[in-house]
Amino acid sequence: MNTSSIYTRTDKGAREASADISLARDLRDVLDAIDGSSSVGDLRDRLDHLGEGALDAALNALLLEGFIRESAAGSASPSFPAASGAAGPETASIDGDDSMRKAQALRDKIRARRQGSERSTAEGDQPADPGFEELGRQEAEAQAKWAAEEEASRLAAEQAREEAEAQAKRAAQEEAARRAAEQARQDAEAQAKRAAEEDAARRAAEQARQEAEAQAKRAAAEERERREAAEQVQKLADEQSWREAEEKTRRAEEARARKKAKASEVVSSADPKALRKLGALIAVGLVGVVVLGLVTIHLMSFNGQIPQFEKSLGERFQQPVKITGLRVSLLPHIHLRLEGVSIGAAGQIRIAEVKAAGAFGNLYSDHKVFRSLDLDSPVVTDEGLGWILFGQGQAGNLMFGQVSALNANLDSKNINLPTFDAKLEFDDGGSWKSIAVDSQDKNLTVELKPQGKSVKLDVKARVFKIPFGSALALDELVAGGTADATGLVITDFKGFFYGGTLSGNARLKWGESWSLAGEVSAKQLDSSRVVPALLRDARVVATASYLMQAPEGRKLFAAPRLEGSFVIPRGTLLGVDLGRTLEGRGTRGDTQFSELAGSFLHENGATQFRQLRLSEGAMSASGTAEIDADRNVRGRIALELKLSGEPRRAKLAFSGNLKSIEWR
């Protein structure tokens, strides 16, 4: 079919188009689309739901039935011969299909016979040749065969299209799979690269850590060597002092020996027995002198040097210092004994005795250096503890290495600590670099290290009694945090409590008033230790936030505020059988449940429970409860049992105390 051909409707086609005759749908669509100006190519674009062969067949059928004709404006003749039978060159454009040519030939014959029949009838001649019907039948068969072939061609084209689409889909899927594989490969390479980089970073960090440890060890070794050298120097100085004392004693002995020699000359002619007796007396006298000297130096008071020590300690703590006595001991090594040491105007730090190990020259020197200080039974108040931890005093002319405190006590009205021992290490600048505290009952250990203007602390306790007026205690407590002059922050703590665990954080502030706040989480608490008269075989899980405020730290727990929620996954509610209650058979018995949950608020000594929810199978309950400051309990719950029929409902009230509850 020539795509540039233009067709227009005949009068018959126009009448039947307007009369809405029963043409086939495809023929109707084509007839409606013919407007005398659209070419075959335009029709193909407009009627793209029809195949090319179907459109050509429809046009041929409409031409054959006289519904359309080729417009004079068309640039080409139809694709099949005109009624006169003349074969146009366009016939060769019908795909060379043999069936199409046969159908066209039959159409030509039918058209010729029809025209001849019409002329004969008009002229009064005999009726048309009866073979006309046979030709029509043959034409119909040929048309049907052509249509079947066209349909087969369409189906083949459709199958080819579907196969092409399937192939394209497979190709797209293969491409997607290839891209996915490529992406996976790239991801794997990136992951491997990241892993390699992380491993390299880890190795570098490990190498840096090892180098830092090695450097720290070298520094520690150097520090140890320096201290040993200093101690050796000090020892040499002590030995020098001792040698000087010995030299002085030796000279005195020589002088006494010379006097003795002179005396011997005088008594040389005396009786030998008398001489031996005199020698024994002289030896006893010498031993007595030595012993008397040693005893005397231990008993001798050096209180005249106390102002120097008070001044040095005062510069250290920036506080007034009082010392009641100063003595010297030679055994087991040379050390000074400072008695009745008090630091602060109100005696915020009090020490019964300080043993300062060092050279004898420290007694008179302005610059005093001691290897160690041993503090006997020191007592420190809250304020004095702050001076030790956060004080900005200067080392001045007083330097010392390690400080040990035995039988120490914290004199605090806010917190009670057992008697403890402590060890303090100092750096070259005179500032403390670590403090280790151990209670004498081996229950509590605290490690402190400076961290800028704060102090980092780690606490461990086998049994830790919570301070500030609380009666609670945690087993196996582990806690860590920081402290400064204004408060303490516990970043995390964890311990065992009521058969479960208690963990959380805390923020403690002190000053003109005290406050304690934080979050706490409880897991697997034994309900029988919390509310023994109410629950059995249940473990409580809860989270809450807390806040306490008081003018003094010891009163913080007097009025705590605690708000949170809880869940009990399984357990038994004691004293009431909710199932029997729903059946109207009384309340006596117990109730097993699969979950009990709700929220709570503890304030001013009373605890309110809201949004209580209990469930067990098809049974559920909801309600509220309250425990007042006197431990009295009261509440209400609503019950519901959902069955296939009408649900059952009931209401209950309860009251009593934590030891005995009555349901009604």
pLDDT for 267 equals 47
What is the value of pTM for the model shown?
Answer: 0.54
For residues 569-597, average pLDDT? 90
Confidence class for position 522, pLDDT limits 50, 70, 90: very high
Confidence check: pLDDT of 597 > 90: yes
- Give the range among 274-283, 429-438, 552-561 with minimum mean pLDDT: 274-283
Q: For position 21, what pLDDT does the model report?
A: 54
Kindly report the backbone phi and psi dihedral angles of residue 225, in degrees, each rounded to the nearest multiple of 5, phi listed first: -65, -40
CA distance 2 to 391: 108
Residues 38, 47: contact at Cβ < 8 Å? no
How much is the pLDDT for 91? 37
Query: Whole-angstrom Cα distance, residue 637 to residue 652?
Result: 5
Mean pLDDT of the 25-30 span = 80
User: Which range, of 26-30, 419-423, 557-561, averages the lowest pLDDT?
Assistant: 26-30
DSSP label at 362? G
Give residue limits of the domains in the chain.
Answer: 267-299, 303-451, 570-663
DSSP annotation string for 58-111: HHHHHHHHTSEEE-TT-SS--SS--TT----GGGGGSTT-HHHHHHHHHHHHHH
pLDDT at site 587: 86
pLDDT above 90 (res 88): no
Average pLDDT score over residue span 86-106: 47
Stretch 548-558: mean pLDDT, rounded?
A: 92
Which two three-digit tokens encode residue 191?
Answer: 């992951």
211 versus 107: the higher-pLDDT residue is 211
pLDDT at residue 20 greater than cutoff 70? no
**Which of 351-360, 380-389, 587-596 has the weakest average pLDDT?**
351-360
319 SS3 class: coil
Contacts of 630 (CB under 8 A, 6+ apart): none
Starting from the edge strand earliest in sequence, which strands make up the sheet with 535-536, in order? 535-536, 571-573, 591-593
Among 181, 178, 158, which residue's Cα sits nearest to residue 170?
Answer: 178
CA–CA distances in Å: residue 73 to residues 4, 5, 55, 327, 375: 10, 8, 20, 139, 126
546 CB burial (10 A radius; 0-12, 13-18, 19+): middle
Contact 335, 355 (CB under 8 A): yes
Convert the pLDDT of each residue in 393-438 to its tens digit: 666 677 777 899 999 999 998 888 899 999 998 887 778 889 999 9
- At residue 663, what are phi and psi to the nearest 5 degrees? -105, 140
> How high is the mean pLDDT of the chain?
79
Average pLDDT over residues 228-248: 57
Tell me the pairing of strands 571-573 and 591-593: antiparallel
Report the alpha-carbon distance of residue 527 to residue 541 in Å, rounded: 10
Between 526 and 2, where is the model more confident? Answer: 526
pLDDT at 287 over 70: no
Confidence of residue 493 (pLDDT cuts 50, 70, 90): very high
What is Dmax (Cα atoms) for the chain? 210
pLDDT of residue 295: 46
3-state helix vs strand vs coil in the chain, percent to 5: 40, 35, 25
SS3 4: coil
pLDDT at residue 245, rounded to an integer: 52
Share of the chain above pLDDT 90, in %: 32
CB-CB contact of 7 with 69 (8 Å): yes
CA distance 82 to 332: 144
CA trace torsion 71, 72, 73, 78 (10° rounding): 60
Nearest by Cα to 301 from 378, 375, 363 = 363
Share of the chain above pLDDT 70, in %: 75
Q: How buried is 106 (Cβ within 10 angstroms: 0-12 exposed, 13-18 middle, 19+ buried)?
A: buried
pLDDT score for 402:
86
Backbone angles phi, psi at 662, to 5 degrees: -110, 130
pLDDT at 77 over 50: no
